[in-house]
Structure 1
């Protein structure tokens, strides 16, 4: 009985720590999504600017290109979660759905990081086609660049959905 009380108290403390950590991650991811959306919009402006003036890159076109280079890369806090998992205390979380979501969170964030790195590498390879000697970029390369940015943006939105689901369950469990 005393051990059960101690386990519930430990679980509650972990839940509060996780909730605080995931709320910080939510704010960071929302900010990153806004930055990536700006990059997507800048890529659209760049593409429209280049299409409107083939053969020449004006100042606003260059500004749009520069802005499109900066999609944000989400780097979540994970101290409380790492402590819970590495300490072998994940079993203290009684809600199976929450345990599964927490156990899979790191994999989902790593998937997003790997995708971001891959997208960055692919965009780097496209650069030779996008700005050869200051001339307008081929439409296909511009479209490919825009699609790569969209992949990052869409993945960030999916991750935010998962993060919010975890926060919702954490809130319910912490309030119980």
Structure 2
């Protein structure tokens, strides 16, 4: 199995890093991508010592938790829970990276990474699960098909059926006369 560049030998991606301030030198603009760049995303950062409780978070592409959050979030791209972060509630996201505590229900349609300092309790539904040594995971775990796998049956049903080659005709059974 070939590993992606910049991945350690374990196959678990490195922890996300904080964006750095741009330098004064010339900046090369990356080619437009299907997903928005980190600076262009609608992001919410809950800082250390801050608590956010009640209700739901909507239209947030990236939620980064360093404090305590008790909410539900749906249709987000990323959930990052730092070492000091605590999330209680329900999350439906594409990717989650958990170094702190998560208690509730998480559905990660792409990938869920639990770091060595992470603790996940509750219901876990994900396409890919990566757990570092030392992490704590407890509850119900269900592996789900990824977005591409879920779309394949729909594409197959929508495609016109190819004509199967006709089977050669079977000759009739011989009839024997009784005497």
Short-chain TM bin = under 0.3
Q: Which structure is higher in RCO with an 8 Å CA cutoff and minimum separation 6?
A: 1
Of structures 1 and 2, the larger Rg is shown by 2
More helix by share: 1
Q: TM-score, normalised by structure 1?
A: 0.22
Whose strand proportion is higher, 1 or 2? 2
